[in-house]
Structure 1
Amino acid sequence: MKFDKSELQIFANYCVAAAESMAYTLVRTAHSTFVKETEDFSCALASVDGLTFASPRTFGATWYVGLDYGPVIRSFTDYKPGDVCMTNDPYSGYVATHTPDVVMWKPVFYEGEIICFVSGHIHNTDMGGAVPASLSRTLTEIHQEGIRFPPTRVVDGGVVNETLLSWMMANVRAPDQNIGDLKAQIACLTTGERRVLEIVERFGVEAFKAGIGQLLDYSESQARAVARTIPDGKYFFADYVDEDAVGGKPMRIALTLTVDDGLLGFDFSGSDPQLTSSMNVPTGNHPRHALLLVALNYVLYSLNPDILLNAGMLRIATCEMPLGSVLNPVPPAAVGMRTLTCVVVQAAVFGAFAQALPERMPACPASSVCLLNVKTTDTAGRTIMASLGPVMGGAGGASAGDGSDASGANMAFLRNTPVEINEAEVPIRILEYGLVGDSGGAGQYRGGLAIAMEFKVFAPNTLITARNRDRTLFGSWGIKGGMAGRTSVFKRNPGTAREQVLGNTDLVACEPGDVIRLEGNGGGGYGAPTLRAAEAVERDVRRGHVSAQQARELYGVVIANGALDVQATAALRAGMGTERKLDDGFFDYGPNRRAHEAVWTRERYAVLCEYLESVSIGWRFFLKHQMFERLAARGEVATGVEIVHAVFAELVAEFPALGAGEKRAA
């Protein structure tokens, strides 16, 4: 049966509604704040071969609309009605991409035939391992990140596998919370199965099966039509994680985007080698892995909000990521903090598309989100393990207007947890929760402001896990004359004699009375700040979004006695002009990235990458660190690549095992 376009849209709406029902069941029955408030979960309808063809639009994570469940679905060949399967092993099919993400899938039978699967994941607040919440950049191998389950049946023909559940409960820090979330997840799949069968009864089974393929095909055709509006060519962009390990070096994600008549190539060659920390992204060399193409989902949807969100839209893309790189690691590499790297991958994709479509794409969003978790005890001595929710930044400014404040932009699917909920469920006191003035990148259209959260703890041996700490060094870039957003701030006991700047630390031990303050980073600005309407700057100052000092120094706007001084502003702006020196003629990266790239130029990094690729995977992280440290010790900022060759020669003399790389990069 072939649907016409209107019928296909109706069918798509039914499928999305089924996924929405799954999500609603999950939100209403989950136990953890991280699921029922933050909504770090996904729900999906997947084809028999595992391609997502429908997902919720108003609930949960937006990262997984193109997820391919095929590798884990094919782990079994003997499905029965009532089966529910699960895995959280990042290296089993590369679908669950860190251990807290428990992925489940359930076959939907109709008259003895599997017609699709209902599936999804939830992020468990803790899955055991070396640290509370299971995730930290301090971890160096997957075995430290909690208990792992290869694909297995958690429900076998309608009977729950109690032995498997007992293994999980024995290894996690808040077992009642985990078991509650797991049962909610099973209920969610049962809801999905029921809704699918209702759709089949309405449309007929043959139409349902045919409609799945047509949804995927139509989304592909929509995506290709959007991509054909992008000028053909090659667009290079790189972005950075502040540190590739605790106290480490900047970690680069490099992308060459190729646009060719509606087809898109994402070549991540030139990205850093896999790390001996937990920020690796396990992709299994999948050419369309969902985690690498999240930003493409956002770009396509921004350019055509009517596009069907499913795996079909990713068919126009192909990814290349060298084996042994941070985007294609080999076991036993730790992967728990892969979200941090994924967000920077998104920033790199946005940077490439911004060059291709400068009038249609915004400046960089905050591209960072810190998820605060607390392990503490209440007055009765009971252990409390909870997430306080995300602390994010703002969206990037664009030709259409300012970036939205505190939205998280590409991380906006992570909902904030109300202060009242946090204080009711966790023995802490929230002292401040609001916007950070002066954090948005200045521009004709300002970058969005960041969030600040400050709270006090009351119990000894409280441990704060600040997952995904980043953007303390490298801010979110501005475009077309707009300025980079302000970087993030993380402190203990701010404004006191005991103040401690925590930087990108993600594990903080606290004692009673300690105060933790976290400020996100701002979005980048769009267009020269002196082109911004003076009245808009005045309004920002009144609201506390921009200080009077920043209004004068960056925007050329004079605020005197709380009001706009029109004449003084005109005189000041006349002397400032609108032209600013831009990085690469288009971006404003901020001072820290400019300083870093004055040493590690694109040419030098290319030579470094050749050396890294020429040695075994186990040597690459060590080699990169040695190259960085020795080049820094020389203090050279020259543009030539000879110094890189010279430093490598020193290392070969000291470590002969590196010698195989000499000829290749010479």
Structure 2
Amino acid sequence: MTGPTPATLDEIGVQILWNRLLSVVEEQAQTLVRTAFSTAAREAGDISAGVFDMRGRMLAQAVTGTPGHVNSMARSVVHFLDAFPPDTLRDGDVLITNDPWKGTGHLFDLTVVTPIFLDGVAVALFASTTHVVDIGGLGASAEGRQVHHEGLYIPLMHLAREGRMNEDLLGIVRANVREPVQVVGDIYALVACNEKGGQRLLEMLREFGLRDLDALGEAIVQRSRRGMAEVIGRLPQGTWTASMTIDGFEAPVTLAATLTIAGDRVLVNYAGTSGLSRYAINCPLCYTEAYTAFGLKAALAPWIPNNTGTLDAFVVTAPENSIVNAPHPAAVYARSVIGHMLPDVVYGCLDQALPETVPAEGTSSLWNLSLLAGHGLTAAEGSAVRSFNVTTFHSGGAGARPRQDGLSATPFPSGVRNVPVEITEAITPLVIWRKELRQGSGGAGRQRGGLGQRMEIANRDGAAFGLQARFERGEYPARGRHGGGPGATGRLSLGSGAGLKVKGLQVVPPGDRLIVEMPGGGGHGDPFSRDPALVARDVRHGLIAPEQAAEAYGVVLAATGELDAAATARRRAGR
């Protein structure tokens, strides 16, 4: 079938082809999800997928995926092209790395790039990333002191040459990880999804009579950049600053940002942020850029497709040797602890420029449960234990929005899906005895903060098991905005009563249970301005207690549970 040449692409043609590209990369992502071995990809969708032109510019990304993966991957492909120029690549080549500074921020994320050839000429690159269950070293631990502690480091290299897999590399992977079947299975899933994307792209090019993506790619990038410029140009021009204190590891961490809206760009500088941690909560700049850009785009122009043209509107800088610009060989495994908090800091700036636009602070950093058992980790000396290693994705509450309550048990900004408890129970000896919303954990406000959740976990075998904790909001809660109250802090404890730390390996003794209480999001606006009927509804649904309704909201309920309007009016008037 013949079609328009690149030089004659019109408005309708660009839109058709652009949408077609979006469907191609979504099928690419779904191929990864459906063929992956690990729960991170298969259940939580902790992946990314996208198509790039031969200059390394991301033209389209899949909807399925996380901002940290997508936006850092968007900048990573140029590193592959620097190491392997297009004229050195051959049909059937596949490239790979998990370099934290050239990929997506830590060793557990494998990024695979595949060049696609049409009639012997390289026309595009497909890239994908997934979070593997293990990469060796200390495992899913925030306790490393250098990246060398954190597992197998794969530099930019060939995973396949002209269709032949690099069996030496796969052998090294198998020898260095605790779950070789899952990890190698995920590597093949990455190869498969890029191959599927390439097949669909070639079908598209042939259907429309195109020889390459040059003209379409240029149109996509330029139109997206113009769209962002128009949005930013209408914003107030100026500079605003904000800061936030979070738990950190060995000491509290200050995250400080200065946001400047100037012309058609938004600049964010993290000067004033704490220096490097001794532990693995440091964040490479690529991951800092990824979540900063996502937070800004989500607030300012969520309708514009995400690609290189969009991302170029945001300029992110940070002092070297700060916790948001960690150089090699800093330990970076738990970089999400910091990276996921950055939209909250940036929103502290943006709220001053654009009031009533951004949400209150939320739990933000995920409360993923990396659960395990094994010799040397959880077993008593001289005893055998049934080994397992699983990461199950969960979250506390999101911050209240200016006109809506915060979402409960919802991960913003990462957007990963929850892993069903049945999956965890099916592949480990664990039992999740309880998983429920945590009453009263959302910050009070005209709009209430989202609730965290409470989970109760035990080992069916009666043996000890461990949790690699890397959580935030254990000491410093999510703050409300414009008079809203803070969310509840998070807590780890044992069923027998003892408290646990929110970072580091925590061991649950034989026969005991792990209690996980996740934080809540901050509230937005004066709680006494909340509609009393909504407060009464929250009490009926078990989201807050009657005592909290009276104390935080000034809402009095009758013994029947119905709203006592007269008593409420008196209480609010007497505040």
Asked if Structure 1 and Structure 2 have the same fold, meaning a TM-score greater than 0.5 normalized by the shorter chain, the answer is yes
Q: Alignment partner of 1:16: what SS?
A: helix
Cα distance change on mapping 1:240 and 1:52 into 2, 3 Å:
farther
Q: Alignment partner of 2:51: what SS?
A: strand
Partner of 2:388: 384
Q: Check the 8 A contact 1:339/1:468 in 2, yes or no.
A: no
Q: Does 2:401 correspond to 1:398?
A: yes
Partner of 2:422: 420
Q: 1:204 aligns with which of 183, 201, 209?
A: 209
Partner of 2:232: 227
Partner of 1:451: 453
CA shift, 1:164, in A, is 0.7
Q: Does 2:272 correspond to 1:266?
A: no
Find the aligned partners of 1:164 and 1:222 in 2 and give their Cα distance.
43
Find the aligned partners of 1:291 and 1:95 in 2 and give their Cα distance.
12
Partner of 1:10: 16
Task: Kindly report which structure 2 residues correspond to 1:243-322, keeping only aligned pairs within 5 A, or say none.
Answer: 243=248, 245=249, 248-283=250-285, 289=286, 291-322=288-319
CA shift, 1:528, in A, is 0.1
16-25 or 357-366, which moves further after superposition?
357-366
Cα distance change on mapping 1:551 and 1:343 into 2, 3 Å:
same
Q: Alignment partner of 2:230: what SS?
A: helix
Partner of 1:44: 50
Q: Which residue identity does 2:388 align to in structure 1?
A: I
Q: Check the 8 A contact 2:398/2:520 in 1, yes or no.
A: yes
Task: Kindly report which structure 2 residues correspond to 1:451-530, keeping only aligned pairs within 5 A, or say none.
Answer: 451-459=453-461, 462-493=464-495, 496=496, 499-530=497-528
Partner of 2:359: 362
CA shift, 1:3, in A, is 4.0
Q: Could you state the TM-score of these two structures normalised by the residue count of structure 1? A: 0.80
Q: Alignment partner of 1:170: what SS?
A: helix
Find the aligned partners of 1:17 and 1:462 in 2 and give their Cα distance.
46
Q: Alignment partner of 2:332: what SS?
A: coil
Could you give the per-residue CA deviations for residues 336-373 of structure 1, whole angstroms, max 9, x where no partner exists? 11111101222111211122111222212221212112
Find the aligned partners of 1:526 and 1:6 in 2 and give their Cα distance.
43
Q: Check the 8 A contact 1:372/1:464 in 2, yes or no.
A: no
Q: Which residue identity does 2:487 align to in structure 1?
A: G
Cα distance change on mapping 1:385 and 1:400 into 2, 3 Å:
same
Could you give the per-residue CA deviations for residues 93-129 of structure 1, whole angstroms, max 9, x where no partner exists? x223101101110001112221110011111111000
Cα distance change on mapping 1:302 and 1:8 into 2, 3 Å:
farther
Q: Which residue identity does 1:404 align to in structure 2?
A: L
456-465 or 300-309, which moves further after superposition?
456-465
CA shift, 1:313, in A, is 1.0
Q: Check the 8 A contact 2:292/2:316 in 1, yes or no.
A: no
Q: Does 2:136 correspond to 1:128?
A: yes
CA shift, 1:251, in A, is 0.9
- Identical positions, percent: 32
Cα distance change on mapping 1:331 and 1:64 into 2, 3 Å:
closer
Find the aligned partners of 1:484 and 1:6 in 2 and give their Cα distance.
49
CA shift, 1:261, in A, is 2.2
Find the aligned partners of 1:224 and 1:152 in 2 and give their Cα distance.
37
Partner of 1:86: 96
Find the aligned partners of 1:424 and 1:359 in 2 and give their Cα distance.
45
Cα distance change on mapping 1:463 and 1:127 into 2, 3 Å:
farther
Could you give the per-residue CA deviations for residues 541-570 of structure 1, whole angstroms, max 9, x where no partner exists? 011111111111110001221221111100
Find the aligned partners of 2:434 and 2:457 in 1 and give their Cα distance.
7
CA shift, 1:321, in A, is 1.2
CA shift, 1:406, in A, is 1.3
Could you give the per-residue CA deviations for residues 221-249 of structure 1, whole angstroms, max 9, x where no partner exists? 11222222321111101123302x3xx21
Gap runs ≥5 in structure 2? 1-6, 376-383
Gap runs ≥5 in structure 1? 284-288, 577-666
How many residue pairs align between the two structures? 555
Find the aligned partners of 1:429 and 1:305 in 2 and give their Cα distance.
39
Q: Check the 8 A contact 2:470/2:504 in 1, yes or no.
A: yes
Partner of 1:633: none
Q: Check the 8 A contact 2:224/2:307 in 1, yes or no.
A: yes
Q: Which residue identity does 1:222 align to in structure 2?
A: G
Find the aligned partners of 1:486 and 1:6 in 2 and give their Cα distance.
51
Q: Which residue identity does 2:467 align to in structure 1?
A: T
CA shift, 1:463, in A, is 4.1
Partner of 1:159: 164
Cα distance change on mapping 1:369 and 1:18 into 2, 3 Å:
same
Q: Check the 8 A contact 1:301/1:307 in 2, yes or no.
A: no
Q: Which residue identity does 2:402 align to in structure 1?
A: S
CA shift, 1:65, in A, is 3.9
Task: Kindly report which structure 2 residues correspond to 1:433-448, keeping only aligned pairs within 5 A, or say none.
Answer: 433-448=435-450
Q: Alignment partner of 1:572: what SS?
A: helix
CA shift, 1:377, in A, is 7.0
Q: Alignment partner of 2:126: what SS?
A: strand
Find the aligned partners of 2:105 and 2:209 in 1 and give their Cα distance.
36
Cα distance change on mapping 1:148 and 1:290 into 2, 3 Å:
closer
Partner of 1:540: 538
Q: Check the 8 A contact 2:340/2:365 in 1, yes or no.
A: yes
Find the aligned partners of 1:52 and 1:35 in 2 and give their Cα distance.
21
Find the aligned partners of 1:207 and 1:527 in 2 and give their Cα distance.
52
Q: Check the 8 A contact 1:370/1:466 in 2, yes or no.
A: no
Partner of 1:663: none
Cα distance change on mapping 1:156 and 1:429 into 2, 3 Å:
same
CA shift, 1:480, in A, is 1.2
Q: Could you state the TM-score of these two structures normalised by the residue count of structure 2? A: 0.93
Q: Check the 8 A contact 1:2/1:210 in 2, yes or no.
A: no
Q: Which residue identity does 1:406 align to in structure 2?
A: A
Q: Alignment partner of 2:368: what SS?
A: strand
Q: Alignment partner of 2:348: what SS?
A: helix
CA shift, 1:458, in A, is 3.5
Find the aligned partners of 2:47 and 2:469 in 1 and give their Cα distance.
17
